[in-house]
Structure 1
């Protein structure tokens, strides 16, 4: 029996739709969003359907992406205040007012 190596499952536009919850699709969505600008944990959960954004960020860092974190206080959709929520951004695309 011959074992064929499966091709790398690269993220493509077809498998990055928010209903696709595979790690590959989540990383692709998050990286695409980071290229557009900073994103906080709440937004990643709500808009990108990523339940554990911090885990996907760590995976992207392990793949060599230079992602930085800034902590800020945010209020969630129910009006509750949360201290030190992560704001992620690419080192080449820092948010205004955040020291690099």
Structure 2
């Protein structure tokens, strides 16, 4: 992992734009990350700017995505171990079947 802060990484990768803080944008960032592989709570916060990953995962589940939760130990940026969720996307919802949940 890079020594740059998540904000600095994002700015470098997205033409200086800060990430959209809306719940919808956070759900989309998390879903994109989950398509690439498992994501822990700390990774979602640190790398994808998803501040409340459990809520976003629940909302993705409500939209028909099958996401399982495993419990793992992950280290914070300060090096402290914590028991956190690791989310794994097993089945993605079909876009035409996703209920609209504006929050």
TM-score computed with the length of structure 1 as normaliser? 0.70
RMSD over equivalenced CA pairs, Å: 1.4
SS at match of 1:91: strand
SS at match of 2:30: helix
Which residue does the alignment assign to 1:90? 89
Q: Which runs of 4+ in 1 moved over 6 A?
A: none
Instruction: Report the CA distance between 1:18 and its aligned residue.
Output: 5.7
Distance 1:58 1:49 in 2: 17
Consecutive unaligned residues in structure 2, runs of 5 or more: 1-16, 92-103
Distance 1:45 1:53 in 2: 7
Contact 1:18 1:48 in 2 (8 A): no
Which residue does the alignment assign to 1:37? 37
Matched pairs, number: 75
Distance 1:86 1:48 in 2: 15
